[in-house]
Amino acid sequence: MADTNIKTTNFPDVIEGSGPSHEFDLSLIIVATNVRVDLPTFTEMIDAFRRVFHESNVKAEILVVDDGVGGAFYETLQQLNREIPNFKVIRFRRTFGESIALRIAVERARSEYIITNAWYLQVKPEAVLEVLKKLKSGSDFVATRRTPRVDSVLAQIQSWGFNRLTEFLTNVKISDLNCSFRGFKRQVLEQIQFHGDLFRFVPILAIAQGFTVAEQDVKHLSEKGPSTFLNFSLYVRRFLDIFSLFFLMKFIQKPLRFFGLTGISLFLVGFIISSLVAFDKLVNDIGALDRPELVLGVFLMVLGPILSSIGLIGEIIIFTQGKQTSDYHIDTILGPADIDTDREEGGDGKH
């Protein structure tokens, strides 16, 4: 393996706590999904959290998911796995998305309380203690709000519009859905369903399932990654995600209301068009069989509701059955002082 020259701060082994050795006060999950990770920034972030854990006597584990990054980043993870107690790595063969990566990491976490973070210090690391305190005080999910914002004005405008549109459609106010730093009890992700890019809306889905969601202000330190303000395809994807969320919250238990409204609307439009054609035929003696309006009317009356329902039926199936299907393949799992030995689906022992 190539020498990555990564230096980490030496802290004492994990603080001993009461209870079985496999239990932790906190599991910190870091997901790197198809991004170019700056290695010094990443290791600086790991050291910062470890320092907070050590100084605060928090018994914690760190889980990092390599979701299609690989290369020098994975070599760095292997090195950190050797050097840091309770540092676990999950590596996918290719990018499967943050929703799957997050769910798999939660399944392998060994604490009731879980906090997620980006691959860099997005917020002040001491915020982990504030979020953990709120979870222990009774909140099921803690959504954080970056303040004061240090990213560009354009990025803040984009984020504001995204949050306000989501609030308008779902009637749930979460101030900062784009912040990767958030905390929750593991039962939250065990009992709600999400897929694709819906991981951003987990606090809203948690509220829909009756969980207690609180907000916590955290000090914003940095934002890294490519600018998305002028990315038109991103706006389309986000709108579709919000629409999917709206449907799942409003109609997942009563889909007939949505399908019925859509079907009736399209049917009425088609019926009106066909009636006008029939009126011309009966009153004005204008031929109907060779008129495209008749075809359009029949098309809307018959095919429209079917086409409108296909995608939404798919959403229902994924939302209700997604947890029971394995649409991922783990290449490698690294536990404490364990390199390339723990494998699941997709692993063959070769690199």
Residue-by-residue DSSP string for 192-239? ----TTGGGGHHHHHHHTT--EEEEEE-B----S---TT-HHHHHHHH
Tokens 């109609």 belong to residue: 251
For residue 264, what are the domain limits? 255-323
- pLDDT over 90, % of the chain: 44
Q: Long-range contacts for 169-173 (Cβ within 8 Å, ≥24 apart)?
A: 169/242, 169/243, 169/245, 169/246, 170/204, 170/245, 170/246, 170/249, 172/204, 172/207, 172/208
Instruction: Name the residue with higher pLDDT: 66 or 324.
Output: 66
Is there a contact between 318 and 252 (Cβ–Cβ < 8 Å)? no
**50 is written with which tokens?**
């470890």
pLDDT at residue number 280: 82
pLDDT score of 55: 95
Residue 287, domain member (yes or no): yes
The mean-pLDDT minimum among 1-10, 156-165, 219-228 falls in 1-10
**Any domain includes 291:** yes
| DSSP character at residue 120 | S
3-state secondary structure of 54: helix
Within 8 A by CB and 6+ apart from 77, the residues are 64, 66, 89, 91, 334
Band of the pLDDT at 351, cuts 50, 70, 90?
very low
Asked whether the beta carbons of 92 and 328 are under 8 A apart, the reply is yes
Lowest mean pLDDT among 42-56, 125-139, 176-190, 291-305: 291-305
Residues β-bridged to residue 319: none
Return the SS3 of 91. strand
Say if CB 179 and CB 122 are below 8 A apart: yes
Least confident among 15-24, 285-294, 319-328: 15-24
Indicate whether 313 belongs to any domain.
Answer: yes
Tokens 């020098």 sit on residue = 72
Total domain count, the chain: 1
* pLDDT grade for 315, boundaries at 50, 70 and 90: low
CA distances (Å), 64 to each of 43, 225, 248, 302, 332, in order? 12, 18, 30, 50, 12
Looking at residue 255, what is its pLDDT?
Answer: 66
**Residue 92 maps to a domain:** no
Q: Which tens digit of pLDDT belongs to each residue from 122-180?
A: 999 999 999 999 999 999 999 999 999 998 888 898 889 999 999 998 889 999 998 99
Q: How many CA atoms lie within 13 A of 8 on its CB side?
A: 24
DSSP string over 187-201: HHHHH----TTGGGG
Residue 285 forms part of a structural domain? yes
Provide the pLDDT for residue 35. 81
Q: What pLDDT does residue 237 have?
A: 82
pLDDT at 212: 94
Cα distance between residue 61 and residue 48, in whole Å:
14
Instruction: Decide if pLDDT at 241 tops 50.
Output: yes
Closest by CA to 90, choosing from 62, 71, 122, is 62
pLDDT on residue 34: 76
- Opening angle at CA 46, ends 196 and 338, nearest 5: 80
Q: Please state the pTM of the whole predicted model.
A: 0.74
Residue 230 lies in a domain: no
Edge-first strand listing for the sheet containing 182-185: 213-218, 141-146, 182-185, 113-117, 26-33, 60-67, 87-92, 330-334
More confident residue, 154 or 345: 154
65: phi then psi, degrees, rounded to nearest 5: -105, 120
- pLDDT (average), residues 183-203: 89
- Residue 307's pLDDT is 64
| First-residue to last-residue Cα distance in the chain | 11
| Residue 341 domain flag | no
- Predicted local distance difference test score (pLDDT) of residue 1: 44
41-55, 99-113, 292-306: least confident range? 292-306
Token pair for 206: 């948690």
Residue 192 lies in a domain: no
Write out pLDDT tens, residues 259-271. 767 778 888 898 8
